[in-house]
Structure 1
């Protein structure tokens, strides 16, 4: 049985582009080495949790109650307490960045605590980093509340509390930032392959003058597009599988959703990223310019505007509106649901539909512009 000419041409284009990828170490490094590096960096080196924070404790008058309070800070994984004899010494340490905050117990702390009077503590926190300051304030309040409860139980006296909260944490009960960061890195990794590498495909052919030679052959525009994009699609899905394996078995991130749903949604996002990269490559015709535009238009938004690192709800309204044209935003929402919550269809389906719409738009526009430029 003879092979159809269309199949032969497509097979030849796929083989040519695959060999181009295999012979280019930078493409393989971006597809496999860089994702592994980012996963190791964010999984082990980057954390949104503050632990072992140096904090100064100023005890103006030593007592059994003050010693018990200091012990509560020493037992906490969040603090490394350092004792100072006076408030001036504590403030000096705070100014010199030796500690991130100071907690002051007045000289009459023990007496006020024993005599049915309020025994307030003073907390001074460095506000140079607003997020760390808020975390530190919450941690101090947590240690203070736990210590008060233990003191009340030891003395067998009721602790007057108007409202007693019962906190239950869903989806990430360990409050481990790794479970939040590692799935989001799949977006960054697939953006690298889908947009950055693809942005160089046609630009490289334009610079080398090989695209004109290709167009005098009987190949069609559709065959060229498939031959160019399919190897990078396989490369991107391979990087996705590698990232998921590392997330599950190396970082022990839970996977509560379906892997097949993840595969389908990853396909939609990768097609959208390929379409964006292809459009950039067709319009620019220059590898350097295409690479810069791909970083600014796809890679940086995947980091900053997708909800991967920063909560979209806390952004200004104008920036929130801009995030709706960032494909990574929809994929991050899907990944967070699949890894931490499960198959939440009311969340997955609208975001998957947005990815499918963006993929169709960018691929369709790329096809139209390529045809116009090659006529």
Structure 2
């Protein structure tokens, strides 16, 4: 075969060479159980841990009661806590004992009903109640305070109805909860976790595909073949794209059938958006892999620039609007931010096109940037 013919074959795109590259990479995945484990076993483990083990719901809050009077008024107030799923009351004879229990982390708050509770209440004044809340966990402290205030308002309304009195409230609020009416944090966490799982599969696996070839000494053999650089890139990406989409389908199935997360949007819209996000993650991982020849270094970089930002800066757990302004601007560089918006909207609200289209546009833009850089960084030479 002449040099001119070899050069012309190298410049032209060839499906046979591409299929051979895909077959080679697929066999590599099959022979390496860790890739399959990351794609299918790790999502199951993470979803089970977050679905059953992690909850942002405040339930069974350990609260200590110190009731210094035996009147029926404070007992009726205390009974509301006893029959609530949000509190787990304990009882102490003195405030000193209750404070000791809080120091030992046995309870997280103290509700102190003093001995002149009924007298003050009947006289029309403020009943002497003191609330002490453990503020180490500020979020839990605010939730506990809000729950107790809500119980207090309910009790006051019930007393006014029993006494045939009109309880004057400055604002009578009629509220409705949309999208997650059950107020289950699982419905919020599980869809967001799918974005983290796809980042793990897409970015971390492909971050080592090229560096692995350099470490094993097989890259030199690939470089002397007439394979085109686009065939090399596609041959590396397509098997992992299929692997990542398979992990996505498994995660969505678990979210819907195992965790009963409502799914109000279109499956095909989710599939297309997931494909765009997977391409973005694959592009990020392959860009990392083309810039380093060490699998260890590539793995460390992928954790720093893909997994950790997807976990912390995507809005998966922490509200982006509550972050400092500088950090909020940094989140625009995190692809998972856009996918979390899409998948949570599709699951809980439906096909909200104003959210889906703009975030898909950002994912397309980031994919173009990553693959443009990959093509510029990828050359068929040993240097």
Q: Distance in 1 between matches of 2:49 and 2:272?
A: 27
Q: Assess if the C-alpha contact under 8 Å between 1:102 and 1:123 holds in 2.
A: yes
Q: Distance in 1 between matches of 2:143 and 2:108?
A: 11
Is 1:324 aligned to 2:347, yes or no?
no
Of the structure 1 ranges 152-161 and 185-194, higher mean CA displacement relative to structure 2 is found in 152-161
Q: Distance in 1 between matches of 2:174 and 2:167?
A: 16
**CA positional deviation for 1:155:** 2.0
Q: Assess if the C-alpha contact under 8 Å between 2:223 and 2:380 holds in 1.
A: no
Q: Which structure 2 residue ranges, 5 or more long, are not aligned?
A: 1-11
Q: Distance in 1 between matches of 2:380 and 2:353?
A: 40
Q: Assess if the C-alpha contact under 8 Å between 2:223 and 2:381 holds in 1.
A: no
Q: Distance in 2 between matches of 1:344 and 1:316?
A: 27
Q: Distance in 2 between matches of 1:303 and 1:146?
A: 39
What does 1:56-135 align with in structure 2 at a 5 Å threshold? 56-135=64-143
The residue matched to 1:226 in structure 2 has which SS?
helix
Report the counterpart of residue 53 of structure 2 in structure 1: 45
Aligned residue among 226, 234, 246 for 2:254: 246
Report the counterpart of residue 208 of structure 1 in structure 2: 216
Q: Assess if the C-alpha contact under 8 Å between 2:61 and 2:87 holds in 1.
A: yes
Report the counterpart of residue 337 of structure 1 in structure 2: 345
**CA positional deviation for 1:374:** 5.4
The residue matched to 1:35 in structure 2 has which SS?
helix
Q: Distance in 2 between matches of 1:307 and 1:331?
A: 10
Q: Distance in 2 between matches of 1:70 and 1:252?
A: 34
Aligned residue among 213, 234, 237 for 1:229: 237
**CA positional deviation for 1:5:** 8.8
The residue matched to 2:203 in structure 1 has which SS?
helix
Q: Distance in 2 between matches of 1:13 and 1:357?
A: 27
Q: Distance in 1 between matches of 2:40 and 2:318?
A: 26
Report the counterpart of residue 34 of structure 2 in structure 1: 26
Q: Distance in 1 between matches of 2:26 and 2:122?
A: 78
Q: Assess if the C-alpha contact under 8 Å between 1:76 and 1:143 holds in 2.
A: no
Of the structure 1 ranges 273-282 and 134-143, higher mean CA displacement relative to structure 2 is found in 134-143
Q: Assess if the C-alpha contact under 8 Å between 2:202 and 2:244 holds in 1.
A: yes
Aligned residue pair count: 372
Q: Assess if the C-alpha contact under 8 Å between 2:229 and 2:380 holds in 1.
A: no
Q: Distance in 2 between matches of 1:123 and 1:335?
A: 40
Aligned residue among 165, 168, 191 for 1:157: 165
TM-score after normalising by structure 2? 0.95
The residue matched to 2:65 in structure 1 has which SS?
strand
The residue matched to 2:378 in structure 1 has which SS?
helix
Q: Distance in 1 between matches of 2:176 and 2:211?
A: 53
Residue 157 to residue 178, structure 1, CA distance change in 2 (3 Å)? same
Q: Which structure 1 residue ranges, 5 or more long, are not aligned?
A: none
**CA positional deviation for 1:70:** 1.1
The residue matched to 2:232 in structure 1 has which SS?
helix
Instruction: Give the alignment's Cα RMSD to 1 decimal.
Output: 1.3
Q: Distance in 1 between matches of 2:312 and 2:305?
A: 11
Q: Assess if the C-alpha contact under 8 Å between 2:13 and 2:231 holds in 1.
A: no
Is 1:300 aligned to 2:308, yes or no?
yes
Q: Distance in 2 between matches of 1:51 and 1:188?
A: 26
Report the counterpart of residue 269 of structure 2 in structure 1: 261
Aligned residue among 280, 285, 301 for 1:272: 280
TM-score after normalising by structure 1? 0.97
The residue matched to 2:14 in structure 1 has which SS?
helix
Q: Assess if the C-alpha contact under 8 Å between 2:210 and 2:286 holds in 1.
A: yes
Q: Distance in 1 between matches of 2:45 and 2:125?
A: 56
The residue matched to 1:178 in structure 2 has which SS?
helix
The residue matched to 1:371 in structure 2 has which SS?
coil
Q: Distance in 2 between matches of 1:328 and 1:21?
A: 25
